[in-house]
Amino acid sequence: MVDIPYDRTTDIPPAEVPDVELYHPKSWWTHYVFSQDAKIIAIQYSLTASAIGLVALVLSWLMRLQLGFPGTFSFIDANQYLQFITMHGMIMVIYLLTALFLGGFGNYLIPLMVGARDMVFPYVNMLSYWVYLLAVLVLASTFFVPGGPTGAGWTLYPPQAILSGTPGQDWGIVLMLASLILFIIGFTMGGLNYVVTVLQARTRGMTLMRLPLTVWGIFTATIMALLAFPALFVGSVMLLLDRLLGTSFFMPSLVEMGQLSKYGGGSPLLFQHLFWFFGHPEVYIVALPAFGIVSDLISTHARKNIFGYRMMVWAIVAIGALSFVVWAHHMYVSGMYPYFGYFFATTTLIIAIPTAIKVYNWVLTLWRGDIHLTVPMLFALGFIITFVNGGLTGLFLGNVVVDVPLSDTMFVVAHFHMVMGVAPIMVVLGAIYHWYPKVTGRMLNSLLGKFHFWVTFLGAYLIFFPMHYLGLLGVPRRYFELGDTAFIPSSAHSLNAFITVVALTVGFAQMVFLFNLVWSLFEGEPSGGNPWRATSLEWQTPETPPGHGNWGKELPIVYRWAYDYSVPGAAEDFIPQNQPPTTRAVQGAAS
């Protein structure tokens, strides 16, 4: 093992990292509102994302009420149902998960974990949040405009998205596209910041191969987002032009409400390619930060180094790269040239290999560990199960011919909720329990946390696991009601009612979590600076919560990788990254 770079604890690269002049806020406004401190911006991002996420959660309850008990709730009609599914999907994928992982966790953790005082461009970082907030407000405003929000489905496929016959065709779709454009502008400002900070502002000794996997996940996801979002950006601009100026980028000759429309010559499939060129990397933009964070949760709470660190890093990079050549697996039945199917099925199934490696390494990290079943660890275990489940059903949908009967059914809904809904949310929740003490200086109540975990995990599994079988049966997605359909037995309707009841229960458990967040802020047990006895730099700050500039007078110096847990011969079962090697009891015991 002598050739393993992270084990050479005496080697500190000679590069000096110059300390930086920080911007110091002068008033309450610039301190807490128009703040340039990444930690405040992170909290602003997280609260905004959670607020709009709660809206999406309520929308999911309304959808489930309609699906479970069709005809019972007269205040939900077919148009509203489509508006609910559209806004639910769009908010959850982009305005909640993307913003929370990158804007929230990215902003808070990157500077602290790499040993920087702040993001390298604090002013741009601040702008990034305010543009994001504007995007969220524009999105939320569509609930109040004439005609309501768009009901085109979160994929916004033209021609349907901009024609009459789809709810929200007047204002909803225009504001939706405007909001997406704003979001991408805001994200680009933040994203450039994260990438440059990781590359340029790491403290002395923090080589790339000593970064915690959380940083690797967020870093790679941000690069991907910077490459993928432009496709959505141009797609949105072109669709907006089609809608407002009557261009025909995506619009062939067609009949609208019985009349030949003014459009002609465009291609609906072009939009789908642009959308999914963004949309598939987007899955990993959400997944990679989750992969990174969960690796650190498992390692810390199992008191064991992450197994196969270098393989984990390369798997993240490989997944990130491969995810740009699989997008058309969302389009197997779109009517694209059918021979594309061979290529995209092959690339899609290849991506399963680095993904599987990550799963193996998570469970192998548990092997011979010292597993503390804390709330973050429980959520990490819940993540592994839901992610393995959702990842494996992805092998059905990625394998072109198997996708044919299953596409556009509830099988797809169950799959993507399991793999990019439940699984990343498990990580988000685990991460909040994990880092809440650093952010606030207090612990979350673990009894409430365990209740929250079990109801959320088991409930979410009961919602989405049986749903796959409705899809196998052939139940289509995006249906306001199933009506009288010969192949759907009445037992399927009972299952739908059951799923609705469980979904409402899981929703209730989130209220317990919100209560815990607020209650612990005032009444939680004081945590101290490093309650989990973790190695990475964010736990070694002189103050908790970390002050402006993070590190007090001097930047930390890093001597080792982030995973020196249970090192043989060491007195404690963890050695912080900034602990000099002289204090290590037995040199080279691991080799």
Partner 1 sequence: MVVALILLLVAIGSVLFHVYSPWWWTPIATNWTYIDHTINITFWITGFVFVAVIAFMAYCVFRFHHRDGRRADYNPENKRLEWWLSVGTGIGVAAMLAPGLIVWHQFVTVPADATEIEVMGQQWQWSFRLPGKDGRLGTSDVRNISPENPLGINRDDPHGQDDVVIENGDLHLPIGRPVKVLLRSVDVLHDFYVPEFRAKMDMVPGMVTYFWIRPIRTGTFDVLCAELCGAAHYQMRAKVIVDEESDYHAWLEQQKTFAELTGRSAVVRATYQSGGK
Pick 111 or 235: Cβ nearer partner 1: 235
CA distance 383 to 289: 13
Coil/strand/helix, residue 401: helix
Pick 106 or 159: Cβ nearer partner 1: 159
Pick 230 or 308: Cβ nearer partner 1: 308
Pick 66 or 530: Cβ nearer partner 1: 66
Least Å from the CB of residue 105 to partner 1: 25
Pick 58 or 404: Cβ nearer partner 1: 404
Q: Is the separation of the CB atoms in 307 and 357 below 8 Å?
A: no
Torsion of CA 403, 409, 410, 413, to 10 degrees: 60
Least Å from the CB of residue 299 to partner 1: 10
What are the residue ranges of helices labelled H in 201-267?
213-244
Pick 49 or 492: Cβ nearer partner 1: 492
Least Å from the CB of residue 14 to partner 1: 25
Give the CB-side neighbour count of residue 208, counting CA atoms within 13 A. 13
Least Å from the CB of residue 322 to partner 1: 13
> Residue 409 pairs with which residues in a beta bridge?
476
Positive or negative torsion for Cα 510, 512, 513, 517: positive
Least Å from the CB of residue 155 to partner 1: 8
Pick 184 or 251: Cβ nearer partner 1: 251
CA distance 26 to 530: 30
Pick 283 or 381: Cβ nearer partner 1: 381
Pick 18 or 568: Cβ nearer partner 1: 568
Least Å from the CB of residue 176 to partner 1: 15
CA distance 378 to 128: 33
Tokens 């399991």, located at residue: 418
CA distance 434 to 387: 20
| Distances in whole angstroms, Cα of residue 307 to Cα of each of 355, 356, 560, 590 | 15, 14, 16, 14
Coil/strand/helix, residue 259: strand
What six digits make up the tokens of 221?
């996801």
Torsion of CA 47, 49, 55, 59, to 10 degrees: -150
Least Å from the CB of residue 247 to partner 1: 15
How many CB atoms lie under 10 A from the CB of residue 262? 10
- C-alpha Rg value of the chain to the nearest Å: 24
Least Å from the CB of residue 589 to partner 1: 8
What six digits make up the tokens of 345?
């099925």
Least Å from the CB of residue 563 to partner 1: 8
> Residue 255 pairs with which residues in a beta bridge?
260
Q: Is the separation of the CB atoms in 181 and 173 below 8 Å?
A: no
Pick 80 or 107: Cβ nearer partner 1: 80
Least Å from the CB of residue 426 to partner 1: 13
Pick 144 or 337: Cβ nearer partner 1: 337
How many CB atoms lie under 10 A from the CB of residue 162? 23
**Which element (helix H / strand E) includes 256?**
strand 255-256
Coil/strand/helix, residue 586: coil
Distance of CA 469 to the CA centre of its chain: 26
Q: Inter-axis angle of helices 107-114 and 213-244, to 10 degrees?
A: 150
Nearest in space to 215 (alpha carbons), one of 107, 109, 297, 98: 109
Least Å from the CB of residue 90 to partner 1: 14
Tokens 């996801």, located at residue: 221
Pick 118 or 564: Cβ nearer partner 1: 564
Least Å from the CB of residue 570 to partner 1: 9
